[in-house]
Amino acid sequence: MASSFEPKILVLATVACAYPGADAVGKAHLEYPANISVFRVPSPVLFPEDFYLRSYARGVDGIIIAACGSDCPYHNAYPKLAARIDALVKKMKTGGLEIERMRITAICTVCIKAFLKEVNEMDQRLRKIGPVNRDTAAKLWEDSRRGMCAGLNLPAIRRPEPVPVFA
């Protein structure tokens, strides 16, 4: 892969743990690549798998779920999240999307080293494997939306819209 490829990496960081952890890295004036961006989330357990697949279809090359792990402030949310990501990764594998694009980890409020390690490793991995195949992701996304609506047999269900091509 040409070294000029800049992967777009999204970190979904929990309000209680990983987001302050990412702040701590900046406060220490330690650097990581600027193609890594962090979104604050209450708990990543809220995302259905089609959110991740849609993100890949939109051109996000890699996602790191930076959760609280066993320090999660919500009852039972972490095991549930882990199970959901497990299922997603299986679908990515069979659907032809590199599973290296998804990483789930726990980052605490002061876990500076862990944060840097995770984002740098993701960056290096993606620079090797190259940009995400957006068509593959879009297909998986459609399958996932259909799967979610399957068996409900109710006309109220909207068919998934095709992923528009964006910039």
Partner 1 sequence: MIKETAQPQAASEEPRIGVYICRCGGNISDVVDVEAVATAMQGVAGVVAAKVNTFMCSDPGQALIAEDIRNERLNRVVVASCSPFLHELTFRTAVNRGGLNPYLYEHVNIREQGSWAHHSDPAGATSKALRMISAAVGKLRHAEPLDRIRLSNNRQALVLGGGIAGLKAAAELAGKGIPVILVESSSSLGGRVASLNEVYPTETDASDLVKKLAAQVMNHPLVRVYSQARLAALSGFLGNFDITIAVEPKAEAGPAPGVPLPKPAKAEEVRAAVGAVIIATGFDPYAPRDGEFGHGGPQVTTLPEFIRELRGRRNGELQWNGRPVRSVGFLHCVGSRQIEGVHAPQADGKVNDYCSRTCCTAILQQALDVKRRFPQVNVYDFHQDIRTYGRGHEDYYRNASTAGVVFLRYHGDEPPAVGPGTNGASLTVRVKDWLTFGEEVDVPLDLLVLGVGMMPRNIRDLIELMKLPVGADRFLQEVHPKLRPVEVSVNGVLLAGTAQGPMNIEETLAAASAAASKASILLGRESVELDPFVAEVDADQCIGCERCFPECAYTGALVAEAATVNGQAVKKARVNPGLCVGCGACVAVCPTRAIDLKGWTLSQFDAMVDGLVAGVPGVELKGREHARQTH
β-sheet bridge partners, residue 63 = 10, 102
Sign, CA dihedral 95-49-112-7, equals positive
Which residue in 46, 93, 128, 162 binds partner 1 (CB under 8 A)? 46
3-state secondary structure of 64: strand
3-state secondary structure of 50: helix
Q: What angle do CA 100, 102, 105 make, to 5 degrees?
A: 110
Which residue in 2, 3, 75, 161 binds partner 1 (CB under 8 A)? 75
Q: How far is the CB of 105 from partner 1 (least distance, A)?
A: 15
Where does this chain touch partner 1 (CB under 8 A) — which range of 50-58, 90-98, 120-128, 135-143? 50-58
Structure tokens at 31: 């650097």
- Work out whether 136 is an interface residue with partner 1 (CB under 8 A): no
- Work out whether 76 is an interface residue with partner 1 (CB under 8 A): yes
- Work out whether 120 is an interface residue with partner 1 (CB under 8 A): no
> Which helix (H) or strand (E) is 146 found in, with range?
helix 134-149
Binding site for partner 1 (CB under 8 A): 8, 10, 16, 20, 22-23, 25-27, 29-35, 37-43, 45-49, 51, 54-55, 58-60, 69-77, 80, 84, 109, 148-149, 152, 154-158, 166-167
